[in-house]
Amino acid sequence: MAEQRLSQASKGVWIGIIGNVALAVMKFIVGMISNSRALVADAARSASDAASSSIKLISVKTAQYSPGRDHSYRQSKSESITAIIVSIIIIFVALEIVVNAVLAMIGGLEQAPREIALIAITISLIGKEWMYQYKVRLGKRLNSRSFIESAREHRTGVYSSLVALLGIGGAMLGPYMGMSELAYLDPIAAIAVALMLLKKGYDLIRETIYNTMEHGLDEEDTQHIFETIGKVKGVQAVDDLRAREHGLYLVVDVAIRVNPKITVLEGHLIGRHVKALLKSRFSNVLAVYVQVLPYNPSYPYNAGFQQTDGDRPTLLH
């Protein structure tokens, strides 16, 4: 089950990477040929999406390994450093696009983009929307909130291409309408896309910082896990429960209370039952750490608590 889940997740990420790389190359080449700065800027946006998807692929690959207790719930250092470097590159590329677009407007524009730019940006819109729908469906099938959230990259990519489309289309209308100043819509759109790229770089840095810290599930998801543990035979109470995201998976750390009169072996078996039940009920649970503690001996075990040779402790009482 875990291998199949990992395979599906990896496939989804690879589709995002290959799709964005293909769109980035196409838009960059066509943008240079057609003299469209907006299309070149949108190519940079697709390239940044491919880079962030590559970071996601690292997360998917490393998430299959159960983290040790000392390292639980923390993102690997290599992944964090890679994300920071990618973010810085994205920000610098965005600033370069803004500077070039401003200089082009100051120096005067010679001609509007060619018709091929319109075709390329239309293909980009269709491709981005398809990748978004695909990854959202896959995220729901994998029951991965982080995977669904990562699909938003493709949706914001659609918005980026839509801005470029408006700039390219508006600039191309200039010669037909006798309004040469409409040619400025293309570099203006390039600046708008670059600003979206700047925001992406900032968001990636913020997300990386957030992911290096411990963060858990929402209350509803945690409650489902809590109730499942409480139904295990032999569990008298659930003390401390922490469920944290580890890539596509969850790591659960829980302290349970059991009958203090049972044997150590019986307590161990109850803990193993908790682990097995959580992994069978929740396909995205990667690891479960169970601490077995004695239930309050003053109640209901205050009467005749001293154990005799004839006592036969059971899993329940």
Chain segment 246-275, per-residue pLDDT in tens: 555 678 888 999 988 888 899 899 999 998
**Phi and psi of 227, rounded to 5°?**
-65, -35
Contacts of 298 (CB under 8 A, 6+ apart): none
Whole-angstrom Cα distance, residue 82 to residue 57? Answer: 12
Number of Cβ within a 10 Å radius of residue 19 = 21
Q: Are 77 and 62 in contact (CB under 8 A)?
A: no
Whole-angstrom Cα distance, residue 119 to residue 122? Answer: 5
DSSP summary character for residue 293? E
Query: β-strand 237-246 against 249-258: which pairing, if any?
Result: antiparallel
Domains in the chain with CATH codes:
2-211 (1.20.1510), 219-294 (3.30.70.1350)
Closest CA to 88 of 124, 51, 120: 51
Whole-angstrom Cα distance, residue 251 to residue 244? Answer: 5
Threshold 0.75, pTM exceeds: no
Model confidence pLDDT, tens digit, residues 139-163: 788 776 667 777 777 778 888 999 9
Local confidence band at 210 (pLDDT 50, 70, 90 cut-offs): low
- Residue 196, both tokens: 């979206």
- Residue 85, both tokens: 């470097």
Residue 228 scores a pLDDT above 90 = no
Whole-angstrom Cα distance, residue 161 to residue 159? Answer: 5
Distance of CA 53 to the CA centre of its chain: 9
Query: β-strand 285-294 against 249-258: which pairing, if any?
Result: parallel
Model confidence pLDDT, tens digit, residues 278-306: 888 887 777 888 999 888 756 554 433 34
Instruction: Report cis status (omega within 30 of 0) of the bond before 187.
Output: no
Place of tokens 């066509």: 30
Concatenating the DSSP letter of every residue in 45-74 gives HHHHHHHHHHHHHHHHHHTTSPPPGGGTT-
Q: What mean pLDDT is reported for the chain?
A: 79
Whole-angstrom Cα distance, residue 98 to residue 169? Answer: 20
